Amino acid sequence: MVIVFILRATQFGRYIYAIGNRERAAYLSGVPTRLVIVSCFVISGLTAALAGIMLAGYSTKAYQGMGDPYLLPSIAAIVLGGTHVLGGTGRYIGTVVGVLVIVLLQSILSVLQMPEAGRQIIYGGVLLGMLLTYGRGARLSE
């Protein structure tokens, strides 16, 4: 909720959207693009560190690749929710729906006792399918 407020109701959030749509146009409009981009990387690093600390606390051990199983499903959920990989389009509710679909898919694959390699192939197929859908939509709209 705090992030939604920052993105929708503050000047910093509008700057982020402007840079995400077209960085050069935002720069020419007077947006301090370097400062905003560095700030976004700092915020991203802090949230990633917090997630790593919580994951280490949850699993009671820490090792370098402990977040790897979460990487592909999280990207698949975001893409499935309608967020374009290259930026510019996407909504919060779509991301929530994408996460719900991926969690449902994970539950089904767990019940079917699918091995991890098969799960990664399915997530990759979802990603590839959505990327092909996005590419097809772009060609049809031109």
* pLDDT (0 to 100) of residue 64: 85
Domain edges within the chain: 1-64, 67-142
Distance in Å from the first CA to the final CA of the chain: 36
Tens of pLDDT along the chain (142 residues) come to 788 899 889 999 999 989 988 899 999 999 999 999 999 999 999 999 999 899 999 888 888 888 888 888 888 888 888 887 776 677 788 888 888 988 888 888 889 888 888 888 888 888 788 778 776 655 555 5
**Which pLDDT score, from 0 to 100, does residue 47 have?**
93
Which amino acid, residue 19? I
Phi-psi region for residue 98, left (φ > 0), alpha (ψ -120 to 50) or beta? alpha
Give the separation between CA 72 and CA 74, rounded to whole angstroms.
5
Rounded to two decimals, the pTM is 0.71
- The enclosing H or E element of 22 equals none
Query: Which residues contact residue 96 at a Cβ distance below 8 angstroms, ignoring those fewer than 6 apart?
Result: 81
Q: What pLDDT does residue 60 have?
A: 83
